[in-house]
Amino acid sequence: MAGGRRNMNRASGRPQPFVSNDDKSKGNVSTDGPGLKSGSPKHMPFPSLPTESSIAFELMMFTFTLTATFLQFLHLYRSVWWLPQSFTLHAMNFYLIDPYLTGFIVTVLVRRLLFYTFRKFVFAWAPTHVWDPLENAIRLSFLLTILTILTWCAYQITQTHAVINIFYLCYPVLVYFMLFGLTIAPFFDILASPSDYLKDDKVRILGKPSHSCSTSPHTIRDEVNCLKKDFNNRMKQVLFSSMLNAYYAGFVPCCFAQNYLFYDVYWATQHLAFIWFGCFTMYLVHCFPIKYCDTLHRAALHLGRWTKLEGRSCHLPTHLWAEGTLWQQGALVKHCKELYKAEGISNAAEPGNTSHSRFYAVFYNPSFLICSLVGLQLSLVLLQLGILTRTSEWYQIISLSLLLFANYYTLFKLARDYLICWKVYKAEAMIQDKSHSG
């Protein structure tokens, strides 16, 4: 195997742990650890699947949230135009809708679509070496433009509403600073990454996480830590972006409704929940494509996991865990006065490290995670279909029908990803068993 070999202990006849040549040269390895099978995880090539570009996804997301905003206004300002005594010829009382509030909401929802479109247009003509400073300039100019528009709309809103209502518009700003700090990149780019680990070229290439099949335990743990940070950052973006869209598309219109207006509070709240869940699953599919999940899966196979042994005899042949040793499956080590057994084909994890254990448990087989998402999305679709069958109001039928179209598309993509992952990882497991049982 590249980067290391297995030695035999002449006195005991036990195989030694897998040790990388880099760690041997550093002198920080332990040559007394037991191993069973010398080998490295074998990865199955993943099929290439079509994915949406950032512009296509933001266009779809803007269409979904804009439609959801219109539907919430429909719930609030619907009319009875069909009655003989009705004084309106339209299905909605448009004169009750604040145009500046609508402009504020649309500006927030469309910001990323405009940013991605303008950046792509500029990058098509600009040389590569000026992309980084040019992108920072574009973000700053867009931020100033967006803030100017939002400030002007907020000022106009205060002319007809109480000043206290402005806090409803600014509340997500506090959440943004709590999650991302004083950086503007996540506001425009959903896949923007913190600068503290963007510098590791081994982990990220052109902004996309990559995996290197290393035999150095230090490299494997560093890669896992960087991937874990990237995963957490994407999850923060998914939670914040879905909350932000649902907040402005479903909650803000209700906050600025007139006091004398009567509407179905239960249905408006239900619509808000459907907006959030729909945005949440759409962002999950976009931010965590199966190629990305496969990168985390490959890193998890190299990381391995330790299982704590309870009530076992202390006379078992064990060795002290060494951070520079790549332990093999079945190895028994002592760490912090506890006994651990190695699981997985190779093991670079630290015994007792709950972060490493969670990473391995979640991404050892991502198809389980995708299957749970399929179940949640299917439950949402079935729930909306069940409500639709019991609905008789015309505006409620329109609302549920339009939301279902987006949920159908997300369900299709999740089901497709699950079937592919299930087949690929099933074949990979069979190859791993066959390779390491002979």
CA distances from 19 to 132, 219, 324, 347, 363 (A): 40, 13, 7, 11, 24
Could you tell me if residue 7 is inside a domain? no
pLDDT score, position 310: 78
Give per-residue pLDDT as tens, 21-34: 444 434 334 334 44
Q: Which of 206-215, 217-226, 406-415 has the highest mean pLDDT?
A: 406-415
**Quick count: other Cβ atoms within 10 Å of Cβ 376?**
16
The bridge status of strand 332-335 relative to strand 208-209 is unpaired
220 and 76 share one domain: yes
CA distances from 116 to 60, 64, 139, 191, 253 (A): 13, 17, 10, 12, 27
Q: How many domains does the chain divide into?
A: 2
Average the pLDDT over each of 101-115, 338-352, 371-385 and give the range with the smallest value: 338-352
351 and 250 share one domain: no
Average the pLDDT over each of 192-196, 286-290, 409-413, 423-427 and give the range with the smallest value: 192-196
Mean pLDDT within 184-198: 70
| Between 334 and 254, the higher pLDDT residue | 254
Residue for token pair 């433009």: 145
* Domain span including residue 61: 54-281
Give per-residue pLDDT as tens, 379-397: 999 999 999 999 988 999 9
Could you tell me if residue 413 is inside a domain? no
* pTM assigned to the model: 0.84
103 and 159 share one domain: yes
99 and 34 share one domain: no
Please say which residue of 247, 281, 315 terminates a domain.
281
Could you tell me if residue 430 is inside a domain? no
Q: Which residues contact 6 (CB under 8 A, 6 or more apart)?
A: 15, 16, 18, 35, 38, 328
Report the DSSP beta bridge partners of residue 18: 326
Total number of residues shown for the chain: 438
331 and 242 share one domain: no
160 and 263 share one domain: yes
Q: Which of 387, 372, 381 is nearest to 409 (CA)?
A: 381
